[in-house]
Amino acid sequence: MVKRILVALGGNAIKQADEKGSPEEQFRNCMITCKLLAEIVKSMEKNDGMIITHGNGPQIGNLMVQQEEARQIVPAQTMDIVGAMTQGQIGYMLQQALLNCLKDEGIETPVCVIVNQVQIDKNDPELLGKAASKPVGNFFTEEEAMAVKKEHPEYIFKKVKPVGEKAWRRTVPSPYPMANVEGAAIRKLVDAGFIVIASGGGGIPVIQDEHGRYKGVEAVVDKDLAGERLAEVCNANVFLILTDMEKVKLNFGKPNEQDVDKMTDTEAKKYLEEEHFILGSMEPKIKACIQFLESGGEKAIITSPDKTVEALEGKTGTLIYRN
């Protein structure tokens, strides 16, 4: 059976939490991640395929700070445009790093980046009130977050980690992805043998007006949920989510915390109902895996970037599969 894998890279695959996000740091992290991706490609058969998507939380947060600080000098760009900018930035770094890693392995598979739009519902609840749930930018202490809030009362800050001093981040609307606008083009590239990097940061959120014309929205679509939509379009049978944990945990941050080696989609739904997973963090990842399996996917795996190869071999990570 042809193996087609969609890899969803978390922000830590590009920028670590304790880093400033310099070009040198980000390129170094991309190289580390892409060496592992190149190992996967090396093990693939001729007609297998790979699609890559990635987060952009730290990058879009930092770029939004730059927009704000330079407002008196040059016009600030809207969040959808900033999302497109980070798609290009991160896509370029991953593309170059992966091409170089493949070349080191003697592999000539072409890699391309698509600046990708994702359609959302203009009436999505996330766009209303203080429902915004997607963390972006740097982590803050509660005091630091409230200090920024005084300067920008329109910002929404939420505690996104149950433990740790810097557990607060700014949150922005994260509407549900309905469709991948460039999906058909991406599918053709994958069918033609390209490794495609797309839907970065969840894609650029757009709505359609009454005439069918697209328009950008100031929001950030969850990259794992959008990645699942892309996996459906490309007929992927394996969905690999790389995050900052080797395995999914139940009772995260509590004394009875425990790793999960594997679970069925039914068990995953049960754990969701019992609120084991953090909103805006592990929760959308689990939802994306369930949706992937229900749409016909073979298996979903969640693990950390350094455990990529071992997880695909079934040696670690959390495997989620259909009953």
How do the pLDDT tens digits run along the chain, 323 residues long? 458 999 999 876 888 778 888 999 999 999 999 999 999 999 999 889 999 999 988 888 788 888 888 989 999 899 899 999 999 999 999 999 999 999 999 999 999 999 999 999 999 998 887 778 777 777 899 999 999 899 889 888 988 888 888 999 888 888 999 999 999 999 999 999 999 999 999 999 999 999 999 999 989 999 999 999 999 999 999 999 999 899 999 988 788 889 999 999 999 999 999 988 877 689 999 999 999 999 999 999 999 999 999 999 999 999 999 98
**CATH second-level architecture of 4-120+180-321?**
3-Layer(aba) Sandwich (3.40)
| 223 given a catalytic annotation | yes
The pLDDT, as a whole number, for residue 252 is: 83
Q: Which residues contact 174 (CB under 8 A, 6 or more apart)?
A: 126, 132, 133, 134, 202, 219, 220, 221, 222, 280, 284
Dist CA 206 CA 175 (whole Å): 10
| 11 given a catalytic annotation | yes
Q: Which residues contact 322 (CB under 8 A, 6 or more apart)?
A: 264, 265, 293
pTM here is: 0.89
| 12 given a catalytic annotation | yes
The pLDDT, as a whole number, for residue 46 is: 86
The pLDDT, as a whole number, for residue 258 is: 94
Among 15, 247, 249, 285, which one carries the catalytic annotation?
285
- In the chain, domain spans: 4-120+180-321
The pLDDT, as a whole number, for residue 172 is: 84
The type of residue at 282 is M
Among 223, 247, 249, 299, which one carries the catalytic annotation?
223
Among 10, 12, 49, 180, which one carries the catalytic annotation?
12
Residue 240 buriedness (CB in 10 A; 0-12 / 13-18 / 19+): buried
The pLDDT, as a whole number, for residue 133 is: 77
| 57 given a catalytic annotation | no
Strand order in the sheet with 117-119: 179-180, 117-119, 204-208, 214-216
The pLDDT, as a whole number, for residue 2 is: 57
Among 49, 55, 134, 317, which one carries the catalytic annotation?
134
The type of residue at 110 is P
Among 10, 11, 91, 201, which one carries the catalytic annotation?
11
The pLDDT, as a whole number, for residue 160 is: 84
